Chain A
């Protein structure tokens, strides 16, 4: 029995050993919180928001990157649409967030002004500022994957947190609030 042939039989063990060490390391990082397989991260997190200028709804003022970056308090940018059912689902929680003092800026994604008006009249308007993105171009640049989707922008214009899901109480308490606390 040649040595190389013997080594060949040990190969499966080697592969499994390396894999096992890898899995151990992953588990350890999961425990310390530095690895989360469930996270669906937007590449923007940790970077400045891309350039954009959006018009407002019904003649009101819209906003752009400069205005967003110039804020002194963190801003929650919320992409929504009147035709989106989960958006209506998160509306009461957004209202509560706004009342608790969080600045929320809304971007209506691929929507018509009259539909936006009806939607806000029905579900309430939590938005300190409201802009329309009828073509969806800005949403694409932000890497939005569907509505509703929300980004937390630190003063200076850096994206610090992102969620591609409705802002239900669990998400707000477990993720958004801690992110806001870290900024404060």
Chain B
């Protein structure tokens, strides 16, 4: 009963989306105020219906309704409640429903909080959103319906994929999808602007907070994904350049470019056409990220199994969305007149440099990801593009980005002098060179480069912040007070750069990792990285739906006990799958990492031990970046909204979503 209601709510949501797109896009031409007001209401209605539909699916999972195929295939009676809920989006059909839900949430948010946007622009934005969401709901209903029934129902379900039974996975897809889908708002603004034929400073001001929200969610989502693969897959790596990771990185790169170029639109009314194109590209790449993977075209560990007719449906949808918006761009972009003149050395110039390099990196990653399938298509040759290519290609492109990152924020708009900015940074440069020298003497070229870059960016961001609060030039107390009076966007930007630098620090530290693979019997020990790793015992253990072999490893340094690690191998009885649960202990600046590959015949087992210097900083940096985005969002100019519509000012805080 409940799943049927869910299916019905889904169909209703589709009907509402169709109405929303028609009313939203045609409405502004009719010059009828009543019709213009309908779009936000429809957007909210669509969200409510999809929300009910999604809840119905969660309900089916919670009560283990095995007549629903989705539940029967991806859940079982032995699955713990938590994973029965998260399992809803741990599979193909359910995750697309979640995707649609978040898309409708975006529309509803614009409908509720977009009062400062001119009514006709908002109507068009909602119309475009309705069009996109209608297309994907049609996909869900036609070829990928999570409410499809089977009869007779099985007694037990097949169960959740053991690798996905992890708290990290509960939060990873919703956050990542919010990031992906959030860019639909920037996309809708871009398309609406192309329809209207007008992009001005106000447009930049409206688009940037939405882009910023999606960017910070995408940053968090990528962070969680990387963290998850670090501790679940047991390889001790944080980024594998797997196609699925790459397609998440692509919108992040162009999205980062967008939040920078939108500043130029807002402050200087330049880079307008470019920003519109970036907004379209970012959402297009998000779409590719979600859907290309599902068509099974890319060879990846994350691949969802999807039928070929789904692949074709997806391709048609992508063609309509991306092709349609780019067609509009080709015809309407020349209308957007450029203004705002500036010298190459200026804040704008630095932001353009940032955009160029981010987009080149995106192009490189895109090429690497798409090269294997297209080579197979054109020349019938099979190759795989792996980490060495990306490492070699991306590293040199990141270097100028990092160099410019510390200098850029210190340049003034329009025209700037490089020398004053550099004099503020001379001791940072000396520090970076010292770090570089120290590590190059030990023969770690890549690590030396990475650590020096990290020091440069981190210290550069701190110097920038110190300059803004006039540290040591006015009394300390006053400097502290200034932290609260300077624009939050400036603090957010500094934090964003700081977080990036810290992440680079972690990545560079990881290149210094040491590891060994060894067979140990109880009582035996090995030395690695100044630590002594001793196997005490291997014991059986049980979990809610798996049995495990649990090893006790004592890690000591100079005879003092540092940590006791418990790596496990788990055997999931329902799926007959073995997984490796790594044991990780962190002290904030290095991780001890142990995995247990399995017993041998003589009571011992095969182990892998790693020491990952600075590894926690990778994710800490990512979270600081996201925090920077969040602080930037609380900036006064976003809170207050655009000056044109000050009449509709609402209580502060409500617009900070």
Contacts and interface: CB of A to CB of B under 8 A. Distances in A.
**Size band of the A side of the interface?**
20 to 34
Contact of B334 (A1, A22, A26, A35): A1
Contacts of A12: 277, 280-281, 326, 329-330
B592 interface: no
A12 B276 CA distance: 12
B315 A20 contact: yes
A13 B323 contact: yes
Given A26-B373, A30-B308, A85-B597, A37 B297 contact: yes
Interface stretch (A2-10, A47-55, A172-180): A2-10
Given A5-B334, A9-B334, A85-B598, A30 B326 contact: no
B597 A25 contact: no
A182 to B, nearest CB: 20
B298 interface: yes
B327 interface: yes
A13 B377 contact: no
A140 interface: no
Contact of A37 (B296, B601, B606): B296
B382 A26 contact: no
A101 B277 CA distance: 63
Interface in B272-325: 273, 277, 280-281, 284, 292, 295-299, 303, 308, 311-312, 315, 318-319, 322-323
| Most A Cβ at <10 Å: residue of B308, B318, B323, B373 | B373
Interface string A37-50: 11101000000000
Given A20-B319, A41-B382, A25 B377 contact: yes
B315 A23 contact: yes
Contacts of A5: 334
A27 B330 contact: no
Contacts of A23: 292, 295, 297, 315
Interface in B220-257: none
Given A12-B326, A35-B376, A37-B299, A27 B382 contact: no
A92 to B, nearest CB: 13
A67 B359 CA distance: 57
B322 A27 contact: no
B330 A10 contact: yes
B257 to A, nearest CB: 15
B120 to A, nearest CB: 24
Contacts of A83: 600
A24 B295 CA distance: 11
A5 B296 CA distance: 38
Contacts, number: 77
Contact of B326 (A13, A37, A85): A13
Nearest to B605: A85
A88 to B, nearest CB: 10
Contact of A29 (B273, B280, B319, B377): B377
A17 interface: yes
A6 B334 contact: yes
Contacts of A35: 376-377
A16 B299 CA distance: 21
A38 B303 contact: yes
A114 B377 CA distance: 49
B110 interface: no
**Size band of the B side of the interface?**
35 or more
B296 A30 contact: yes
A9 B329 contact: yes
B622 to A, nearest CB: 30
A16 B285 CA distance: 11
A17 B552 CA distance: 57
Contacts of A30: 296-297, 308, 311
A72 interface: no
B627 interface: no
B315 A24 contact: yes
B571 to A, nearest CB: 12
A100 interface: no
Contacts of A19: 370
Nearest to A17: B323
Contacts of B312: 24, 27
Given A5-B334, A25-B377, A38 B299 contact: yes
A31 interface: yes
B431 to A, nearest CB: 42
A27 B297 contact: yes
Nearest to A82: B601
B333 interface: yes
B382 A39 contact: yes
B426 interface: no
Contact of B311 (A17, A27, A38): A27
Interface in A122-162: 122
Contact of A22 (B327, B374, B597): B374
B69 to A, nearest CB: 21
A111 to B, nearest CB: 14
Interface in B318-369: 318-319, 322-323, 326-327, 329-331, 333-334
| Most B Cβ at <10 Å: residue of A9, A24, A37, A83 | A37
B400 to A, nearest CB: 25
A184 B303 CA distance: 34
Contacts of A39: 382
Nearest to B332: A9
B44 to A, nearest CB: 33
Interface in B257-281: 273, 277, 280-281
22 contacts: A1-B334, A6-B330, A10-B330, A12-B281, A13-B323, A13-B330, A16-B284, A16-B323, A19-B370, A20-B318, A22-B373, A23-B315, A26-B373, A26-B377, A30-B297, A30-B308, A30-B311, A37-B296, A37-B373, A38-B299, A39-B382, A85-B598
Given A9-B331, A30-B308, 16 more contacts: A12-B280, A12-B281, A12-B330, A16-B284, A17-B323, A23-B292, A24-B315, A25-B377, A27-B295, A30-B297, A31-B308, A37-B298, A37-B299, A37-B376, A38-B303, A85-B597
Interface pairs A-B: 8 shortest CB-CB: A10-B330, A13-B326, A37-B299, A31-B308, A9-B333, A27-B311, A1-B334, A9-B330
